[in-house]
Structure 1
């Protein structure tokens, strides 16, 4: 460890030399004492003697002794002075050489050979001899006329300068006046826009420029950033709205209804009517706001359409398409609002489905505003607990409620028409079946309390109810007592749902299980099941052994309706025929007389438009099969009297 050495961590301090350099000292001596040629040994001796007498010499000697205590400083000062003297001597030599070259070059015109010896080799090589000459001229004398001319010229220049300054001041005053008028006009228009309720603020990247917030703060970030336009000033002071590089022609979302390939309805874009006092700038701001809203609307519709592909929503060539029914579909696109579009609107004003297209257009715009309100309430409410998982931003429900409502209405209309046709067909055969629409089940009380605690405005709660699942219930009764059916039509178009679903609850004594629940996803399956239920009820209500007892109708039916549903004969009981359902699910019934084999077979076929009864009997004389067919149509409920099913059965029994 004794051989180790240590290094200081602190930097070495350099000694500061506060003494003046040699050129400064020489300049000071020249200023104080004059030139060195006047300094002699006698004058210096006299000065030293005078200083000793005055006592100042002691101070100088003391200062010299103090400065000489440090030998290193004196040595350093000596070397520094020596280097400075050499530097100045070299510089003086160079300047003397330059002067000698200049004089030699000037004299080379007259005595070139004598001056070549005093020139440097560089000057001899680069500059030709005799290129510089010297002449002596005489300065002309100034006369009185010249002096007067100079005075007149100077006076003219002064007058011209004063005139130019005055003109510049007048131009500056005029320019200032115009600038004040332009600023006054600009700020008055800005104030007018602010008084109309528009938000005025500074641009984020141009703090010296004002802007107007015409967009929506709760919109998607892409459109929220585009909702700020600069209010710039023209040369005349008028205000114009600068939307930047994102400025596009005004556009609007158009809804078209297509039926069998023909356009039967077109929505009309909303047009704001301004009074005469509305400025052009405010009109442009309104157009920018509406166009930005429409672009955001179409953007959100496309986002939602991608999640609704499983429900039949398609997106092709900047167009959204979805089905309302088998023959009717809706087209949604974004079109420019210009004079050509206005002429097309005039041609499509009287189409039959314009109201439906306008209703869809209004609904999607209201739902986008509703989404903005929900975003604002979520942003201003107390935030939830911090979580690592980031909540995904879902799509707005814009198309989904409209499609769900329209498709649900279409399914409900079809179901009502189907039940009406079936019951009307059966009524033409003398059978009365009833169906009715039931009330939806009441909501849970806890849900009502929770919704009240949230303090949601009435308008928003009303829109939220429209966003829910569409559900309608219908019920009906059979001819057999205590037998009934209930149908629930439920439409849910959420991304994980299955669309429209039909749920049927049936209670019937002829079923293997008296209470069954069936779910269907298509209309055809539901229709087939309903026809099966009605056929089963008809087959099991044909009386056995010629019973004259009337079959009761559905619960809640009147006495007249019950009496109208009697099947069988009410008169003569000479023959007693036994009707037995062999294949009730297929509508087949066989009949026989006591002590005889089966000699009659009935086939009941029910569809939406007609009821067909086919009777096949074996002739006792010829041994051949004889067929007789009876048909009741849905359009026979009105008009002339016709044979009922009850009368037909009597006739078949009598002919047996």
Structure 2
């Protein structure tokens, strides 16, 4: 190895006959550069090609040939320009090659120096190396230079002792590091065990509450996002609710630190309730608000979900009714300051203004003590009826979705809001109409019966309600429960029926007139309509229309006050005094002649029958047999009370 200390790399010595001096070598290099342009293009192959092409002729001969060619033909200007351009191109090539070599040397030195973290600087590398080298994964310090010492010598005793002490210290340090690592591992294992125990208790408590929620019947849904902390969610909204409220009816069941369920903001909101108030002449006389629970903070998760479900249902009910008010402005429905005002007139009362005030308020609001409570029953019944109608609408949506869909058309079908306010208005208007009419008919029937004119009155406020039991036994639609069939009746037109028999002279053959009261808030009626049907014999005798339609109770009673006296006068008295009775006018009057006496004197009596506000009045105007200018007027009135004299007896006493 000592012989390799001073080793120098030199070129292989040439033979003496071919050995050239340094000056000769430089001359040869210059000659080759001038002839060939650059040394890098000189290869064995290129020299062999030149020899084959005859370029190995002696220089003096070649020069003579070239001189002779130059003398024969001088180069043109274009050739000189091309020669200058080729020279510039060749020079540019030399510069590019020098730049390439310098860039590579710079990148090599920068890569070697990058072993030191303090000397790493991207600006020292070329742009090409940064893009195609460092950005493609070449790490810093991937190329290095080291110096090795090949000198073998014997170490001194002090150096050996120092090396042994260093090895011993390194061994002790390594042993201490291992012991410290084992202690740390034990601590981490204990901490992991405690964390596992805590997580087991947390998961146990969470799953217990999840099972409790599921046992209450609430549908649960597994979540994919953030499944570690929020694995489940509860769907408390009704499945057939509107799109907006269906989206709100879902809340994730988040896990707290101790495993209990954290209430979602949708469940933690203050619940709302649907409120109906009865207002008479501006004073609140009844409300449907529920009682406020004292302890609202300590609700269980099941109670919170139930309150959120009820609140969402109440909000949907109020929302659907507020949308429906736009089409019912002509029926006395107003929407102002988030309160829906609905007219609910009292039967036969025009002096009192009764309205229903409907709104949606927080459940915790306290009812004012200044309000009266005599109509709380009405407000609560109306609120429960509206809730039942919305629940029925949800059932009908499910029923319609289960049926065969209608044919496809290019025209989109708009979903109309459910008829909640329409049904409420129809019920109030129908009950107010039929009750007012039936009160008038009962007064007329009592009055006629008190006068000895036997009549019977049969009234039905709603025919479908009367045959409800029979209709439920035979369901018209499959898949509908009895409750849905019952509530479906309220969405149809309401029909009330009243039948009044007409008084007859013989008491055997009965005739009756029928009044059908139909109420519908929609086409084609838009309200309450009374349809009066007269017996065919009455219409033929009095030359009247058999069917007539009226829009109010006042019109019906006014017509009855005209047709009943006309029937009594022109039919009942006419048949009673057939030969002696004469009809002279189209009103409810008749002239009856007296029987001839032995002296031959006779007289006539004009009888007029009137019916007004449930009172029957008979008036007789008798002409004196001695003087035609003298008349005697008599009258009798029946008001429905007990009377000792009948109508026929009074007429008999007057005409003799």
**TM-score (normalised: structure 2):** 0.64
Could you say which residue in structure 2 is the equivalent of 1:118?
none
Q: CA deviation at 1:282?
A: 0.6
Could you say which residue in structure 2 is the equivalent of 1:83?
99
| 8 Å Cα contact 2:254/2:264 also seen in 1 | yes
Spell out, residue by residue over 1:233-262, the C-alpha distance to the aligned partner (whole angstroms, 9 max, x if none): 222221122034x96421111233344555
Alignment partners' CA distance in 1, 2:214 and 2:170: 64
Equivalent residue in structure 2 for 1:333, among 345, 355, 359: 359
Q: CA deviation at 1:36?
A: 13
Change (3 A) 1:318 1:183: same
Change (3 A) 1:92 1:239: closer
Equivalent residue in structure 1 for 2:639, among 633, 636, 656: 633
| 8 Å Cα contact 1:397/1:467 also seen in 2 | yes
Change (3 A) 1:418 1:242: same
- Match runs of 1:206-355 below 5 Å: 209=230, 210-244=232-266, 248-259=269-280, 261-267=282-288, 269=290, 280-326=300-346, 327=352, 328-338=354-364, 340-341=366-367, 351-355=373-377
Could you say which residue in structure 2 is the equivalent of 1:643?
645
Equivalent residue in structure 2 for 1:387, among 409, 413, 421: 409
Change (3 A) 1:229 1:178: same
Alignment partners' CA distance in 1, 2:584 and 2:569: 10
| 8 Å Cα contact 1:440/1:473 also seen in 2 | yes
Q: CA deviation at 1:621?
A: 7.1
Could you say which residue in structure 2 is the equivalent of 1:652?
654
Alignment partners' CA distance in 2, 1:515 and 1:231: 71
Alignment partners' CA distance in 1, 2:262 and 2:458: 63
Counterpart check, 1:506 vs 2:537: no
Equivalent residue in structure 2 for 1:195, among 215, 220, 230: 215
Spell out, residue by residue over 1:128-176, the C-alpha distance to the aligned partner (whole angstroms, 9 max, x if none): xxxxxxxxxxxxxxx9xxx999999999999988877766665554444
Change (3 A) 1:186 1:207: closer
Change (3 A) 1:384 1:271: farther
Where 1:467 maps in the other structure, the secondary structure is coil
Could you say what the CA RMSD is over the residues aligned between the two structures, in angstroms?
5.0
Q: CA deviation at 1:422?
A: 0.7
Change (3 A) 1:596 1:332: farther
Could you say which residue in structure 1 is the equivalent of 2:10?
40
Q: CA deviation at 1:283?
A: 0.6
Counterpart check, 1:530 vs 2:560: yes
Could you say which residue in structure 2 is the equivalent of 1:16?
none
Change (3 A) 1:625 1:237: same
Could you say which residue in structure 2 is the equivalent of 1:558?
none
Change (3 A) 1:222 1:92: closer
Could you say which residue in structure 2 is the equivalent of 1:478?
502
Alignment partners' CA distance in 2, 1:479 and 1:647: 15
Where 1:494 maps in the other structure, the secondary structure is coil
Alignment partners' CA distance in 2, 1:87 and 1:65: 30
Change (3 A) 1:82 1:414: same
Alignment partners' CA distance in 2, 1:159 and 1:280: 52
| 8 Å Cα contact 2:539/2:546 also seen in 1 | no
| 8 Å Cα contact 1:252/1:334 also seen in 2 | yes
Change (3 A) 1:76 1:340: same
Where 2:562 maps in the other structure, the secondary structure is helix
Could you say which residue in structure 2 is the equivalent of 1:24?
none
Could you say which residue in structure 1 is the equivalent of 2:551?
521
Alignment partners' CA distance in 1, 2:566 and 2:6: 145
Alignment partners' CA distance in 2, 1:279 and 1:229: 17
Q: CA deviation at 1:269?
A: 3.9
Spell out, residue by residue over 1:38-62, the C-alpha distance to the aligned partner (whole angstroms, 9 max, x if none): 32114999xxxxxxxxxxxxxxxxx
Change (3 A) 1:252 1:421: same
Equivalent residue in structure 2 for 1:184, among 195, 199, 204: 204
Could you say which residue in structure 1 is the equivalent of 2:435?
413
Q: CA deviation at 1:286?
A: 0.5
Alignment partners' CA distance in 1, 2:496 and 2:331: 20
Alignment partners' CA distance in 1, 2:482 and 2:48: 100
Unaligned runs of 5+ in 2: 16-42, 50-90, 111-161, 347-351
How many residues align structurally? 506
Change (3 A) 1:207 1:233: closer
Change (3 A) 1:533 1:271: farther
Could you say which residue in structure 1 is the equivalent of 2:141?
none
Change (3 A) 1:434 1:170: same
Counterpart check, 1:497 vs 2:525: yes
Where 1:253 maps in the other structure, the secondary structure is strand
Could you say which residue in structure 2 is the equivalent of 1:580?
582
Alignment partners' CA distance in 2, 1:415 and 1:406: 14
Could you say which residue in structure 2 is the equivalent of 1:611?
616
Could you say which residue in structure 2 is the equivalent of 1:361?
383
Q: Which structure: larger Rg?
A: 2
Where 2:533 maps in the other structure, the secondary structure is strand
Change (3 A) 1:229 1:495: farther
Equivalent residue in structure 1 for 2:516, among 463, 483, 488: 488
| 8 Å Cα contact 2:605/2:655 also seen in 1 | no
Change (3 A) 1:44 1:285: farther
**TM-score (normalised: structure 1):** 0.64
Alignment partners' CA distance in 1, 2:330 and 2:416: 17
Q: CA deviation at 1:406?
A: 3.8
Could you say which residue in structure 2 is the equivalent of 1:112?
none
| 8 Å Cα contact 1:539/1:588 also seen in 2 | yes
- Match runs of 1:156-175 below 5 Å: 170-171=190-191, 173-175=193-195
| 8 Å Cα contact 1:510/1:536 also seen in 2 | no
Alignment partners' CA distance in 2, 1:353 and 1:253: 17
Where 1:218 maps in the other structure, the secondary structure is coil
Q: CA deviation at 1:287?
A: 0.4
| 8 Å Cα contact 2:531/2:549 also seen in 1 | yes
Alignment partners' CA distance in 2, 1:69 and 1:239: 93
Q: CA deviation at 1:227?
A: 0.2
Change (3 A) 1:247 1:535: farther
